[in-house]
Structure 1
Amino acid sequence: MKKPLQIYLNGLLVILLILSTICSKTKRVEQEFRVGLIAPITGKLEGIGTSVLEGARLAVDEKNSNGGIEVEGIRYKVVTVIKDCQDLPECAVSVAQELINRENVSAIIGPPISGLAIPVGKIASRAFVPMITQMATHPDVTRGTRCVFRVCFTDDFQGKIMARFVREELDARSAAVLFDIACPYNRGIAQIFKQSFEEFGGKVVAFEMYTTREDDFIDQLVRIRKSGPDVLFLPNYPYDIILQMEQIRELGLKTQIIGSDTMSFRNLEDIPCIEGAFFSTHYSNEIPSQKVKELFSTYQSAFGRMPTIGVVLTYDSFGLLFRAIESQNSIDPELICKGLAEIEGYEGVSGVISFSGSPDPEKSVVILHVKNGRFRYYTQIKP
């Protein structure tokens, strides 16, 4: 009797082990790491939103095709929970709260611009959910927050670099500025540029303002034309710049146009309108880097065009998030924050990124020149 019983028990043990293995594997497959993605998918900034979605898709597909995230022996599939904030701060706040309270995301990527990222950063900070913004350069985005990071340089740094560039490289003695006073990004960088340009010995002869959704800039441009500047700085969003350039040509205003990172247009057909302009940005397809070549090739295969800065910085944002998780071997939000703060020498597509305990990275500024309807690499300025 003992022999049949022993055989029965041994068989039962084997079955239990098989079931345990199956359940364990099933459990691993079901594990998800949920990341909130906030972007202006509709509205005037939909081009930026599209770039964000494309960059996220590349980063997440790449990670999941390589097995996802592994933490303490368990593999997690990366899942993006996408929310459209429509270029409205109140909408950005609402979807951020939904991501944190209902969707239970472990981290947030975006929003990509300052006017949206500033209020969302406060919510993420209170909830202690890691947040990485791609292109929100205003200092207030990370100021006084907990676990809010950016992958781009700040307006203060960008404004100073452009002031120095036009004063020293272009030998400009006078400058005019036209900017949206209601937008934190435009206003902040315009003020820094003015202050820095004058510190470098130049003179700002016209400092003209308008408010969001205005489309007639003739009065401001007439005053700028009368002031006779060597350069005209347009730290505005693409839809405004395109209208402004049309009206600049109508008035016959001939001066060197300069811009900031928002001049990196996504639509190639819009580039000729800023022919001859110089602007600061985070990346160039012409930078000799293996990372750049790999992303360029992957993106062209997927979408049939060149990647924009929104694509690149979103891709790098996810890369930094994954690096932080791997370095801490944890998906705990507090440890992810710790991992992000400790990142040193991360080789992203947009350059080498280090946080060194700060929410703002140390990285170079790229200057591009619009020549023959193309963005051409001009120089790179280090911190």
Structure 2
Amino acid sequence: MKRKWTLFVSILMVLLLAATGCGSTNGASGDATKDPIKIGWIGSLTGDQAPWGKCESQTVQMLIDETNANGGVLGRQLELVALDTKGDANEAVNAVKRLVSQDKVCAILGPNASAQALAITGVLESAGVSDIATVATNPKITVKDDGSVNKYNFRVCFTDPYQGSVAAGYAADVLKYKNAAILYDVASDYSQGFMQYFIETFEAKGGTIVAKEAFKAGDTDFRPQLTKIKKANPDVILMPYYYKEVALSANQARDLGITATLMGGDGWPSDTLFEMAGKSLEGSYVVNHFDYNDPEVKPLTEAYIAKYGTTPEINCYMVHDAYKVLLAAIEKAGSADPQAITDALTQVQVKGVTGTIKLGEKTHNPEGKEAAIQKIQLNPETGEYEYAFMQKYGAN
């Protein structure tokens, strides 16, 4: 009799737990639609890329706070789960595994770097959760070598081929340069992709690559490569890598008496760049995603400064647009279901601070975005170096 009674109580408890939703965090209501919608973010909070990652994660938190203060989305609050990749591809994979399996995020924003964005592709596909990269420009992130799209990889920035072609086109067609040299990071997918398409476009426009020298990220002495480049007497030197090495190599180039124009891409912009090498970079050209002085950009800049007390990096603006696209997709999907959100990402269009964002179904890249060509110059009124907008320019 005792055993029967115990069995009866056990069955009753199971039925009660099922009825009240034991897996819910909302008590007896069991209404999961009232739980916060979790959004993941990955990026470098430590290491050389930390200035970008810190700015990016802070921007997402600021935007989520703003959304929550205005009532959230779909009647629910948002919750950010931000994880540090330490600038490492393996750490990025581990972070995404945790976000999709433990934290149960509906989608992920970031990372900034191409190598990390490439590394997480398999995890995203296995989990059926989408990622929107911010400044990861390698074309293989969204489109495979066979031309098929990576189903769960998206981005709001243009690609390495695009900015490489823009840089070459501007150098040849606008600046009228005939001879170009290249100093690149042999260990960087970003650097090599940028370089490849610069070469193809520059040569197609009648230009000549007179020198091509390599280094590896972490190197601090670029004089041997720059000495060879100096002998080639180029009109312009392409430096398609990140701000730390840009600053070091630019200073050393000027120390060697190299007067050629320096040119780079979206890996350059950082306040640290001017602190390290402002004078050496004066007169250089940068292919960027937007103009910092655009009136539509300034409100975000001011909001970030008001909250964090410092000028934002490029990542602030890029992750702003990625967040807006994700928010629109969640609203379009009408739920926090990861697959529904994935399906909606190519069905929405948003007006961002870097332009109008519409992700292509066959590429998962923003369609029709032009680059902003900027020139580094000294502002005589402030005594500080700045990016002066020259023009919008598209690859052709």
TM-score by length of 2: 0.86
Q: Residue type matched to 2:374 in 1?
A: L
Q: Residue type matched to 1:378 in 2?
A: M
Count of aligned residue pairs for this structure pair: 355
Q: Secondary structure at 2:181's aligned position in 1?
A: strand
Dislocated runs of 4+, deviation >3 Å: 22-30
Quote the Cα distance in structure 2 between the aligned partners of 1:114 and 1:60: 25
Deviation at 1:126, TM superposition (A): 2.5
Deviation at 1:325, TM superposition (A): 0.9
- The answer to whether residue 311 in structure 2 is matched with residue 277 in structure 1 is no
* 8 A contact 1:33–1:76 mirrored in 2: yes
Deviation at 1:269, TM superposition (A): 2.5
Q: Residues 250-286 of structure 1, C-alpha deviation per residue, up to 9 Å, x if partnerless?
A: 2111110111111111335246142211110112221
- The range that moved more, 120-129 or 109-118, is 120-129
- The answer to whether residue 385 in structure 2 is matched with residue 380 in structure 1 is no
Q: Residues 171-218 of structure 1, C-alpha deviation per residue, up to 9 Å, x if partnerless?
A: 100000101011100111111111111011100101111122221111
**Unaligned ranges ≥5, structure 1:** 1-21
Deviation at 1:303, TM superposition (A): 2.5
After superposition, where does 1:229-378 map in structure 2 within 5 Å? 229-267=234-272, 269-270=275-276, 272=278, 273-289=280-296, 292-344=297-349, 346-357=350-361, 358-362=363-367, 363-372=369-378, 373-378=385-390
User: Which residue does 2:127 correspond to in 1?
Assistant: 127
1:60 to 50, 57, 64: 64
Q: Residues 79-118 of structure 1, C-alpha deviation per residue, up to 9 Å, x if partnerless?
A: 1111111111111111111111111111111111101110
Deviation at 1:349, TM superposition (A): 0.9
* 8 A contact 1:52–1:310 mirrored in 2: yes
Quote the Cα distance in structure 2 between the aligned partners of 1:271 and 1:308: 17
Q: Residue type matched to 2:391 in 1?
A: T
Q: Residue 214 and residue 270 in structure 1: after superposition, are their counterparts in 2 closer, same or farther (change >3 A)?
A: closer
User: Which residue does 1:15 correspond to in 2?
Assistant: none
1:228 to 225, 233, 253: 233
* 8 A contact 2:166–2:394 mirrored in 1: no
* 8 A contact 1:58–1:315 mirrored in 2: no
Quote the Cα distance in structure 1 between the aligned partners of 2:30 and 2:386: 50
Quote the Cα distance in structure 2 between the aligned partners of 1:343 and 1:209: 41
Quote the Cα distance in structure 2 between the aligned partners of 1:23 and 1:126: 31
User: Which residue does 2:95 correspond to in 1?
Assistant: 95
Q: Residue 209 and residue 81 in structure 1: after superposition, are their counterparts in 2 closer, same or farther (change >3 A)?
A: same
* 8 A contact 1:287–1:377 mirrored in 2: no
Deviation at 1:351, TM superposition (A): 0.8
- The range that moved more, 194-203 or 138-147, is 138-147
RMSD of aligned alpha carbons: 1.9
Quote the Cα distance in structure 2 between the aligned partners of 1:81 and 1:119: 20
- The answer to whether residue 206 in structure 2 is matched with residue 201 in structure 1 is yes
Q: Residue 266 and residue 53 in structure 1: after superposition, are their counterparts in 2 closer, same or farther (change >3 A)?
A: farther
Q: Secondary structure at 1:229's aligned position in 2?
A: coil
* 8 A contact 2:217–2:245 mirrored in 1: no
- The answer to whether residue 186 in structure 2 is matched with residue 181 in structure 1 is yes
Q: Residues 328-377 of structure 1, C-alpha deviation per residue, up to 9 Å, x if partnerless?
A: 21211111111111123x10011111124230112111111111011111
Q: Residues 9-57 of structure 1, C-alpha deviation per residue, up to 9 Å, x if partnerless?
A: xxxxxxxxxxxxx989996895111111101100111111112112212
Q: Residue type matched to 2:242 in 1?
A: Y
* 8 A contact 2:51–2:313 mirrored in 1: no
User: Which residue does 1:85 correspond to in 2?
Assistant: 85
Q: Residue 23 and residue 85 in structure 1: after superposition, are their counterparts in 2 closer, same or farther (change >3 A)?
A: closer
Q: Which has the higher helix share?
A: 1
Q: Secondary structure at 2:345's aligned position in 1?
A: helix
Q: Secondary structure at 2:120's aligned position in 1?
A: helix
User: Which residue does 1:140 correspond to in 2?
Assistant: 140
Quote the Cα distance in structure 2 between the aligned partners of 1:62 and 1:251: 50
User: Which residue does 2:7 correspond to in 1?
Assistant: none
Quote the Cα distance in structure 2 between the aligned partners of 1:97 and 1:271: 39
Q: Residue type matched to 1:47 in 2?
A: P
Quote the Cα distance in structure 2 between the aligned partners of 1:166 and 1:200: 10
- The answer to whether residue 73 in structure 2 is matched with residue 76 in structure 1 is no
TM-score by length of 1: 0.88
Q: Percent identity among equivalent residues?
A: 30
* 8 A contact 2:220–2:248 mirrored in 1: yes
**Unaligned ranges ≥5, structure 2:** 1-25, 145-149, 379-384
* 8 A contact 1:47–1:266 mirrored in 2: no
Quote the Cα distance in structure 2 between the aligned partners of 1:82 and 1:54: 10
Q: Residues 219-259 of structure 1, C-alpha deviation per residue, up to 9 Å, x if partnerless?
A: 11000000000000101111111111121122111110111
